[in-house]
Amino acid sequence: MTVGGIALPFMPEPFRGQDLKWDVERDSLDQFRAVSTFEDGTPGPVMVFARDGIGWDLVGLQLAEF
């Protein structure tokens, strides 16, 4: 996932055009978080996923305060 498209107009000017680096942090067997960081090291959004049968559902989104 990169920053662009629909999200671009809502991003603060300094973050526009920066790529995101994603890391996975497992909270339990049934939940994990995809944690992003902008190229300059600033924290980005965090997506929270929970197990649903054999798949995963996006159950939360945490946005960093800019």
Q: What is the pLDDT of residues 30-40, one digit of tens each?
A: 999 999 888 88
DSSP for residue 5: T
What's the confidence (pLDDT) of residue 48? 93
pLDDT band for 20, please (50, 70, 90 cuts): confident
What is the distance between the alpha carbons of residues 66 and 51, in angstroms, rounded to a whole number?
Answer: 30
Query: pTM of the prediction?
Result: 0.74
What is the distance between the alpha carbons of residues 58 and 62, in angstroms, rounded to a whole number?
Answer: 11
pLDDT band for 8, please (50, 70, 90 cuts): low
